[in-house]
Structure 1
Amino acid sequence: MSESIYVGVDLGGTSIKVGICNQEGQLLLTHEGPTETEKGVHIVVDNIVKYVHEIVEKSPYDWDQLVGVGAGVAGFTNVVEGIIILAPNIGFRDVPIRSLLEERLGKPVKIDNDANVAALGEVWSGAGRGVDNCICYTLGTGVGGGIILNGKIYQGFSGLAGEIGHVSVVPDLEAIQCGCGKKGCLETVSSATGIIRMANDAVARGDRTTLATVENMNAKEVFDAAKAGDEVAVRIVNRAAFYLGKSMAIVAAVLNPEVFIVGGGVSYAGDILFNEVREVYAKLTPDPLQRGVSILPALLGNNAGVVGAAGLHLRS
C-alpha cells in the first residue's frame, strides 16, 4: 500500500504556509505563498487550493496518497461545522471554509484555531511527542493556549477551551485592563506586549535602567538587558515568569498535565525565563501535582501550525 500523507495549512493574514506530513507526524515538505486578504474570501480560498496542489505536485507523492487537509487559523472557529466564525487578520466572518475547500479539493478537510493546532503539532512530533496530556502556551503578542487530553484536542462545550491568556492571575491592586475587557489576565504581564508595557512604564517612572536608551523596545531587548544584569529588566522578567508559573499551578490543579510546553517568541528567552517559571511552579503547586511534570520550550517553532493542522485527521 502506498504511503498516506496529510497536508496542513497555516492560514495567516500575510501568508499561507502549507506542509506535508506522514502518518508519524514527520514534516516532509513546506510551501508558502501570499494570503492576499485584500482581494476577498474567494481569492484566499483559491490560494489555499492552489498551494495545496502545488506542494503535492512538487513532492514525490501522488494526489491519491493525500488522505486529508487540515487548516489552522487565528480566530474563532466552529470546529463541528467547519466554519471560521471570526478571523480579523484575514477578514473572515462566518465563512464555511471546510465545505468550500472540500468542494474544490475533493478531500476531507478539518479546521481549528491556531493555538490548538500548534499544541497538537508539538504533541504529535515536537516537545510533547509521546505525551497524551499536555498544555501548550504560545507567548507572543498575546498569550494563546492549547489543551491536549488523552491525546486529543480538548475544545470545551463551545470550542473556546485553552484561553489560558485570560486566566486571572494578577491581584486587583496591580491589575490593568486586558484587551478582552477584563482585568488581571495573564496576557497583560506574560505576553511580549505585557513585557514591553512594563518596560516602558519603568522608563516613564524614571527607573534607572539601560532600557531608557532603547527606542521602539521589543521583548527580546528586555530579556537581553536582564541577562546583562539590568535590575529593572530582571524585575520585569521575574514578574512575567511568576504569573506564568502561577497560571500553570492553577491549570495543574484542574487538569493534571504531564507536560507544559511554552512556545512563541517570548519562549526564546531561554533559561532566564524557564528557570524562574519552574521555581514558581514548584513553590505554588502541591507536591503530588509536581511529580513527573515537565515545563519545556517548544521545538517546532513556526512549523507547529502546519504539523498540527495536518494531524487533525489523525489526532482529533
Structure 2
Amino acid sequence: MSDKIIVGVDIGGTAVKVGICDLNGELLHTFEGPTEAEKGADAVCNNIANYALQIVEQSPFSWEQVEGVGVGVAGFLDIPNGIIKFSPNLKFRNVPLKEFLENKLQKKVLVNNDANVAALGEAWAGAGSGVSHCVCYTLGTGVGGGIIVSDRIVEGFNGLAGELGHMAIVPDLEAIQCGCGKMGCLETVSSATGIIRMAKDAVARGDRTSLSFITTEITAKDVIDAAKAGDEVATRIVARAAYYLGKSMATVAVVLNPERFIIGGGVSKAGEYLFEQIREVFRKSTPEIVAEGVQIVPAILGNNAGVVGAAGLIIRS
C-alpha cells in the first residue's frame, strides 16, 4: 500500500488512545494502552512511542507511510516547541515531548492542547467538515473550547486561545467564583459541574423539586431528565445553562464570525431540548446580519475527536 497515513495520539490521565487516519481524516485503526503516569515522564513518553509503533505494526501499513505523529494533551504547553509546561492530570512539568518523540520515532511530531485538538478533529472530519470557520464547545466537568479559523487552530500568543469556559459572562450579582479563581465564568453555570451545583443548591434551599428525592449523588443527566419531565426547578437550571451558552456564542460571533458552533461533551447529550434553547438565546442576542446562516450543532466524533484532531495537526498546522 502506498497511501500516506498519520498517527494521532490522545493522552489521558489513565489511558493513551492512538489512531491511524488517512489524509482525509478517516479513522482507520485505534489502539488504547495505559498511560502509567505514576511511573514518571520518561515511562509515559516511552509508552506513547511504543503505542504509535505498535498500532502501525498491527495495521496493513508500514512505518515508512507515516507522514507524522500528532499529540493532544491536557495542560499548559509551549506549543511551538512541543513542551508540556505543566499538566495537572499527568503531574508533568517542562517535559519536552516533541523532542523526545521525534528522536524516538524519526518522524515529524506536533503537540497541542487537548481541547484544541478535539476541536480540530470535529472541524476536519466531524460536525465541522466542509466549514473553514467554526468554534467548538465541550460541556463536561468544565467548559472547554477550540477555535478554528481558515481551517487552522487559533492558539493565541501563548497557546491559551479558546478558553471559552472562562469568559466572564455571568453578571456580578449572580456570579460565583470559578475554579480558575475569577468570578462569573461560563463554566460555573453551563458545565456538568455547574448544573449539579445549581441543583444541589436548590435542594438545600428546600425548593419543591423531584431532584430532592434522588438518594444518590445528583448528576447533570438527572437534572436534564427532570427538566424534560417538566420539573420547574430543573427546567430553570437547564434554561440558565443554555442562556449563558447562547449569550457567550453571541459574543464570540461578533468577534470571530464563525459559520458553525459545535457542542460536544456529556451535557450535549441533552439533545435538541438543550440546543433549541441555546439557538433561541443566540438569535435574540446576536445582530441579525451576524447570526444569519450560523449553525449550532452537536459534535459527532465523540471520544474519537482527540485522536482524529491530533492526526489533523500534521496537515492543518
TM-score w.r.t. length of structure 2: 0.99
How far the C-alpha of 1:53 sits from its partner, in A, is 1.1
Separation in 2, partners of 1:89, 1:48: 16
| Aligned twin of 2:202 | 202
What letter corresponds to residue 2 of structure 2 in structure 1?
A: S
Separation in 1, partners of 2:143, 2:228: 23
How far the C-alpha of 1:158 sits from its partner, in A, is 1.4
Separation in 2, partners of 1:78, 1:213: 48
Separation in 2, partners of 1:7, 1:41: 21
Describe the superposition over 1:95-150 as per-residue Cα deviations: whole angstroms up to 9, x where unpaired. Answer: 00000111111111000001100010001100000110000001101011100001
2:223 paired with 1:222: yes
2:270 paired with 1:266: no
Separation in 2, partners of 1:272, 1:217: 20
How far the C-alpha of 1:62 sits from its partner, in A, is 0.6
| Aligned twin of 2:22 | 22
- Name segments (4+ residues, structure 1) moved above 4 Å: none
Separation in 2, partners of 1:96, 1:311: 21
Task: After TM superposition, list the pairs within 5 Å mapping 1:131-280 onto structure 2.
Answer: 131-214=131-214, 215-280=216-281
Runs (5+) with no aligned partner, structure 1: none
Separation in 1, partners of 2:280, 2:239: 11
Separation in 1, partners of 2:15, 2:211: 33
Give 3-state SS (helix, strand or coil) of 1:311's partner.
helix
| Aligned twin of 1:72 | 72
Aligned residues: 316
What letter corresponds to residue 173 of structure 2 in structure 1?
A: L
Separation in 1, partners of 2:152, 2:311: 14
How far the C-alpha of 1:78 sits from its partner, in A, is 1.0
| Aligned twin of 1:37 | 37
Separation in 2, partners of 1:17, 1:154: 24
Separation in 1, partners of 2:47, 2:213: 44
What letter corresponds to residue 285 of structure 2 in structure 1?
A: L
Separation in 2, partners of 1:277, 1:10: 30
| Aligned twin of 2:123 | 123
Separation in 1, partners of 2:7, 2:270: 31
What letter corresponds to residue 145 of structure 2 in structure 1?
A: G
What letter corresponds to residue 245 of structure 2 in structure 1?
A: L
Separation in 1, partners of 2:281, 2:250: 9
Separation in 1, partners of 2:267, 2:130: 25
Separation in 1, partners of 2:265, 2:258: 20
Describe the superposition over 1:230-281 as per-residue Cα deviations: whole angstroms up to 9, x where unpaired. Answer: 1111100000000000000000010000000001111111011100000000
What letter corresponds to residue 307 of structure 2 in structure 1?
A: V
